[in-house]
Amino acid sequence: MKKFRKVLDGLTTSSPASAGGSPSCGSAAGTPTAAPTPRELDVHETLMSEHFHICKTVRHGFPYQPTCLTFDPVQKILAIGTRSGGVRILGGPGVDCYSQHESGAAVLQLQFLINEGALVTACADDTLHLWNLRQRRPAILHSLKFNRERITFCHLPFQSKWLYVGTERGNTHIVNVESFILSGYVIMWNKAIELSTKTHPGPVVHLSDSPKDEGKLLIGFESGTIVMWDLRAKRTDFRIYYDEAIHSVSWHHEGRQFMCSHSDGSLSMWNLRNTAKPFQVTFPHGKSQRDGRKESCKPILKVEYKTCRNSEPFVIFSGGLSYDKAGRRPTLTIMHGKAITVLEMDHPIVEFIVLCETPYLNEVQEPYAVVVLLEKDFIVVDLTQSNFPIFENAYPMDIHESPVTCTAYFANCPPDIIPVLYSIGAKHKKTGYSHKEWPVSGGTWTVGSQTYPEIIITGHADGSIKFWDATAITLQMLYKLKTSKVFEKPKGAETGRSAELVEEDPYAVQMVSWCPQSRIFCVVGISAHVILYRFSKHDANTTITSLEVRLQCEMEEVISPSDTENTVCLTDPGGHSPQPQPPSPRSNMPDSARDSIPCLRVKDRMIRMPPGYQAELVVQLLWVDGEPPQQITSLDLNSAYGLLALGNCNGLAVVDYLQKTVILCMSTVELYGAADPFQRLTRSPRKNRQSTSDFCMRGLSNFYSDSKKRIRTSYQSLTELSDNQVSLDLERSKSPTSESRENSFSRSRSSSVSSIDRDTKEAVTTLLFAESYGRKSDALPTPCLWVGTSLGLMLLVPMSIPTDEQERMEEPITVAPTSTVLMLKGSVLRFSFLDCAGCLIQSPYEVWRDGNAPEDPERPRRRKLVNFSPCSSQDAIGDGHLAVVCSERQAKVFLMPSQACLYVHNITESSFVLRADVVAVSNSVCLACFCANGHVMILSLPSLRPLLDVHYLPLTDMRIARTFCFTNGGQALYLSSPTEIQRITYSQEMCDNLQEMLGELFTPTETPEAQNRGFLKGFFGGNAQTFDREELFGEAAAGKASRSLAQHIPGQASVEGMRVAAGGAVGELARARIALDERGQRLGELEERTALMMASAETFSKHAHELMLKCKDKKWYQF
């Protein structure tokens, strides 16, 4: 524990003429002020560098751009591959793991080693990888890079260690999955086809072993050629040449026939007795033409042929629709006997898998569900019910139901808030789901001991808000709120030019502000509106109050610096500034057709609101002289004060939501008064309109999908206020939901705060209500509003708020902006306050009460305020507090009320801070920053010592910039893709405990026994178990493969490096012990079966001998 002491005795302020150094304090006029009272500040800081380490914890949401799917029928876990090289493994509740290939190559195919705790991935860079799933963080054991051929298809038979790999050249190679070494046994394409064939059969699109005989391999080529290859004899059993291209093949479990899907929308059935032609060809969705032939349809990309014991077999396929049905949605067709069911999907089908009761291909399959992977969704269909209902999804796959536009993360929430939100949200859940249990139930997970309530809030493009329970690294939907219900549906003629501003998404959410204690919730929308919600367990019939605010600024923000950038400007206010009268006098202009109207119309009638969050107030900015309102860039609310503050590039407005009035509406220039540190020149109104439009278009060009049009918005000004070195390309800057990889941005900014783009305006970038000292002469803290701007200036706005509840509802609030102005480099991002012991000071709040609950005459409802007016405490009077301020470039700690700068730290010179939060970690507090160059930085408080500086994200884009946020407990999150939320931790303690928090992917499970085939069936039908692949594919028989064909790459979790990846030799020994136990168990089972067979043979021999003795002396006619 380190002790920091700052002696303020004799501390003087910086003169305007001083050349450099960290400032202490100063005045707007540049005259020195009196030094602070000499005193000592003792703060014991407990956080050290060893308390911090950054790592990923868990990823939620739908895998972005999925490519393939596989399922382990014994372990009951599922894996999804993506175009960016990601692998998502899903099981039961809490079993959710994300792994990433370092190459970033797309995953083409996945193959589980069924019930072995391993996974094989085939990537687009022609590399095979073997993943070890017997650890909570999967790691690559081996890799095999093909150098001369491209991988097109893989097949791993059940309980086999030999992987068949088909290539683009038509060859089939064989890989030992234990050693990941290529066998010398190769099936060349020219040996598989007839010598007389003049054309190449094309790439291998299918490989499967016959259910009847594992020594026979069925090879399907793209051109329509099918070959049955005898692995023992190394020759072809039969060849099939079909006119249409093949997409997939599926066997009947008896191994006597198989089904193919083709590019013309047909299904062909083949019998092994006669392979000259198919014995059945069907066009399931084709219409009969005049000549009796069926018309061609769209390709059937995949077909599954599954048998049942007590009913007709299932034939399930995707595609195959008629071409004349243009615009029809993608379909999955289920044929069961004569019944044909077509399930329409909302998105294109990537792949589907039929889940069966048995892992053995030579047994009756008994399918019970179909897992369907869509481009933007994931569903499971129940096959056991005739209407084929879908299962209720156990994973949060609908985060992107509407594109995510903002996020908020709250840790250590009040414990009662999650059950309340869940109970309200459960009433609005959809019905009609299957009543059976979720079939993907593998793995194990237990809630850790160190858990606390966590909530994630996501705002979406359609105006919806979703509350998620994020406790214990899981994610579950709690409650959904639709902000669009507050407004009238826009009609074509009524919207006018307002539609041009917001285009297709007028209700898109820009930011949210939530007070968990009072349960008051505020939403900022793209149409320059703010909606305030209160929570109630009862429904209500009410009218929504609408307030309209006219914010404009008619001064050209061309700035001439009147002082050095490091000067902290303040004056000693002898008198109070006159209270402004909203709206500003300049707003009294004659209204035109597009003047003084909001973008949206609030419902002005009585509305029935269901239990949950109920809208109480809507604040809208108005059009001014034909120009739309500028986007809101900052927001704060305080439930104890009953106030709401909002700001944009035109100014600041403060709303009293208890009295439903606007108490302050001023431009930032008016807030400065005589303390303005810059000289501003007037300009023409038309020029301002153009520059204002450019200002709001800069920074975030579009955060929706490519199908949606671009929307104007601003990202808290901190990404817009740059000099002429801006390298952000608006045409390439895509949205958080864009699929382009060009959504990265970089920017360099001048170190001078005064080097501002001359066409931009000063915006309010952050706001905070707090108990603070508005003036240096104040002896007691009072309610204040701290205002931070894009020029790095901070203004303090003291307020006089009545403490009596009756007076609060009747008396007006007095707001008197002071001439106190403090300065930092770059746009101000965050305010926070510490007491003189270094502890975080919580903002005052009101305890929640249900306004719609029945009145109790004996106990009237009264407002219960917490932390309001702490000046009644004697300790608070004498100590003052510390103000922590962070901007894009630097952080400062001020001592209030003297306003002396105690600590300064320049966070970055070459980049800028995107997000900064003061968070609680390990029973202390620190300042967490995320920079545009991808660095995550942690600074101690109050001394601002660097504790962590890690280059975490190699690429920064606007989606991450808008959604990255820190929270208490050493956690953070961001939108890693348009459909996924990535949670990370920067706490060493949580990194150490992460293994306990994650779920186990592999659980030792006994492989189900194969069904007894019967003596005659096994004797005459062939016995697949007698086929020994080791004799054919091993090095002794097949020799070594060419070294130039493939390169073996040991993985980090290979046998040599297992101790590092799996957590030490103890884990290795434990896994070895498990493997030995499993092997011993199998050997024991084999011994038992051998003993039973020997006993049966002895019994049979005894009975045969007795029968022989009995019949020995009999004549032939005596039988």
**Helix (H) / strand (E) containing 7:** strand 2-7
pLDDT at 384: 94
Query: For every residue of 189-232, which 3-state class applies, written as one string?
Result: HHHHCCCCCCCCCCCEEEEEECCCCCCEEEEEECCCEEEEEECC
Q: What is the pLDDT of residue 1077?
A: 63
- Residue 153 or 739, more confident: 153
pLDDT, residue 210, reads: 93
pLDDT digits (tens, 9 = 90+) for 131-176: 999 999 999 999 999 998 999 999 999 999 999 999 999 999 999 9
CB atoms within 10 A of CB 969: 19
pLDDT greater at residue 1109 or residue 406: 406
Report which DSSP code applies to 294: B
Q: Show Cβ contacts of residue 101 under 8 Å, excluding neighbours closer than 6 positions.
A: 85, 86, 87, 107, 121, 123, 129
Q: What is the pLDDT of residue 20?
A: 35
Rounded mean pLDDT, 858-869: 73
Band (pLDDT 50/70/90 cuts) for residue 109 is very high
**Is the per-residue pLDDT at 696 higher than 60?**
no
- Asked if pLDDT for residue 6 goes beyond 60, the answer is no
Residue 724 identity (one-letter amino acid)? N
Residues in the chain: 1119
Residue 984 near residue 973 (C-beta atoms within 8 A): yes
CA distances from 337 to 307, 318, 320, 657 (A): 11, 18, 18, 65
Read off the pLDDT of residues 637-695 as tens digits, 9 standing for 90 and up.
999 999 999 999 999 999 999 999 999 999 888 888 777 777 665 444 444 443 333 33
Higher-scoring residue by pLDDT: 827, 1064: 827
The percentage of residues in the chain with a pLDDT greater than 70, rounded to a whole number, is 77
Residue 632 DSSP one-character state: P
pLDDT in the model for residue 389: 95
428 neighbors 382 (Cβ within 8 angstroms): no
Mean pLDDT of 258-287: 92
Instruction: Please name the residues in contact with 1012: beta carbons below 8 A apart, sequence gap of 6 or more.
Output: none
Q: What is the pLDDT of residues 985-1044, one digit of tens each?
A: 999 999 988 888 899 999 999 999 888 765 545 555 544 446 788 888 988 888 888 888
Which one, of 902, 787, 776, lies nearest residue 836 by Cα?
902
Q: Which helix (H) or strand (E) holds 1109?
A: helix 1065-1111
The dihedral formed by the CA atoms of 1005, 1006, 1007 and 1013, expressed in degrees to the nearest 10 = -150
Higher-pLDDT residue of 106 and 1023 is 106
Tell me which of 4 and 594 has the higher pLDDT: 594
Name residue 249's amino acid.
V
> Could you tell me whether strands 331-336 and 339-344 are parallel, antiparallel, or unpaired per DSSP bridges?
antiparallel
The answer to whether the beta carbons of residues 824 and 789 sit under 8 Å apart is no
Residue of higher predicted confidence among 1011 and 847: 847
Does pTM surpass 0.85? no
- Over pLDDT 90: what percentage of the chain? 56
- Position 497 confidence tier, pLDDT thresholds 50, 70, 90: very low
pLDDT bracket for residue 1070 (50, 70, 90): low
Which residues, in sequence order, are CB contacts of 131 under 8 Å at separation 6+? 87, 99, 118, 119, 120, 121, 138, 139, 140, 141
Q: Identity (one letter) of the amino acid at 986?
A: Y
Please give the structure tokens belonging to residue 653: 């407005």
pLDDT digits (tens, 9 = 90+) for 458-492: 999 999 999 999 998 899 999 999 999 999 987 75
Residues near 1118 by beta carbon (within 8 Å), at least 6 away in sequence: none
- What mean pLDDT is reported for the chain? 81
pLDDT of residue 472: 86
| pLDDT on residue 1040 | 84
- 652-656: strand order across its sheet: 634-638, 643-647, 652-656, 661-666
Residue 494 clears pLDDT 80, i.e. is over it: no
Q: What is the pLDDT of residues 719-735, one digit of tens each?
A: 333 333 333 333 333 33
Q: 936, 950 in Cβ contact below 8 A?
A: yes
Per-residue pLDDT band for 1068 (boundaries 50, 70, 90) equals low
Between CA 1034 and CA 1030 the distance in angstroms is 5
Closest to 174 in 3D by CA, of 1049, 1039, 1055:
1039
- Is the pLDDT score of 268 beyond 60? yes
Tokens 């499967």 belong to which residue?
208
Q: Which two tokens stand for residue 112?
A: 């589980």
Buried b (16+ CB within 10 A) or exposed e, 772-805: bbbbbebeebbbbbbbbbbbbbbbbbbbebeeee
